[in-house]
Amino acid sequence: MQEYTGYDRDLVSVQESRRLAVEAREAQRAFFHTSQEQVDRICAAMAEAAYRNSERLGQMAHEETGYGVPAHKALKNKLGSQGVWDSIKDTPTVGVLRRDEEKKIVEIGWPVGVVACLVPSTNPTSTVMYKVLIAVKARNAAIIAPHPSARKCCLETVRIMAEAGEKAGMPKGLVSCIENLSLEGTQELMRHYAVSLILATGGTPMVRAAHSVGKPAIGVGPGNVPVYVDRSADVAKAASDIVNSKAFDCSVICATEQAVVADAPIAEQLRAEMKKNGAYWLDPDQQQAVARCLFDPSGAINPRSVGKTPQALAELAGISVPGWARVLVADLKGVGKDYPLSREKLTTVLGFYVEKDWHAGCERCIELLKFGGDGHSLVIHARDEEVILAFGIEKPAFRIIVNTWASMGAVGSTTGLMPSMTLAPGGIGGSIVSDNISVQHLLNIKRLAYETGAPPPEAYSLAQGVVAQSSNTAGPVSASSLSASNVTGSNGAGTGYSAENIAQIVREVLKELKA
122-156 residue pLDDT tens: 999 999 999 999 999 999 999 999 999 999 999 99
- pLDDT category, 72, cuts 50, 70, 90? very high
The residue annotated as part of the active site, out of 154, 250, 254, 293, is 254
Query: Is the pLDDT assigned to residue 3 strictly greater than 60?
Result: no
- pLDDT category, 7, cuts 50, 70, 90? low
On whether the CB atoms of residues 419 and 412 are closer than 8 A, the answer is yes
- pLDDT category, 280, cuts 50, 70, 90? very high
- Whole-number pLDDT of residue 483: 44
CATH architecture for residues 225-416: 3-Layer(aba) Sandwich (3.40)
Query: Is the pLDDT assigned to residue 463 strictly greater than 60?
Result: no
Q: Averaged over 109-117, what is the pLDDT?
A: 98
- Whole-number pLDDT of residue 41: 98
In whole numbers, what is the pLDDT of the chain averaged over residues? 91
Percent of the chain with pLDDT over 70: 90
Q: Would you list the DSSP string of 233-268?
A: S-HHHHHHHHHHHHHGGGG-STTSEEEEEEEGGGHH
- CA distances (Å), origin 482, targets 221, 370, 510: 56, 58, 14
3-state secondary structure of 108: strand
- Whole-number pLDDT of residue 8: 79
- pLDDT category, 504, cuts 50, 70, 90? confident
Q: Averaged over 434-441, what is the pLDDT?
A: 96
Q: Which helix (H) or strand (E) holds 512?
A: helix 499-514
Percent of the chain with pLDDT over 90: 79
Non-local CB neighbours of 204 within 8 Å, separated by 6+ positions: 221, 222
Q: 36-52 and 151-167 helices cross at what angle (nearest 10)?
A: 140
pLDDT tens for 316-343 read 999 999 999 999 999 999 999 999 999 9
Domain spans in the chain, listed from the N-terminal domain onward: 8-221+439-448, 225-416, 457-514
Q: Do domains 8-221+439-448 and 225-416 have the same CATH topology?
A: no
Query: Is the pLDDT assigned to residue 501 strictly greater than 70?
Result: yes
- CA distances (Å), origin 460, targets 339, 463, 476, 509: 66, 5, 20, 14
Q: Averaged over 333-358, what is the pLDDT?
A: 96
The strand pairing partners of 310, in sequence order, are none
Q: Which fold has domain 8-221+439-448?
A: Aldehyde Dehydrogenase; Chain A, domain 1 (3.40.605)
The strand pairing partners of 280, in sequence order, are 328
- Whole-number pLDDT of residue 484: 41
Q: Averaged over 214-230, what is the pLDDT?
A: 92
On whether the CB atoms of residues 74 and 139 are closer than 8 A, the answer is no
Among this protein's residues, is 254 annotated catalytic?
Answer: yes
- Whole-number pLDDT of residue 513: 66
Amino acid identity at 351? G
- Whole-number pLDDT of residue 491: 42
Whole-angstrom distance, CA of residue 167 vs CA of residue 471: 68
Whole-angstrom distance, CA of residue 241 vs CA of residue 234: 11
On whether the CB atoms of residues 323 and 312 are closer than 8 A, the answer is no
pLDDT tens for 290-303 read 999 999 988 889 99
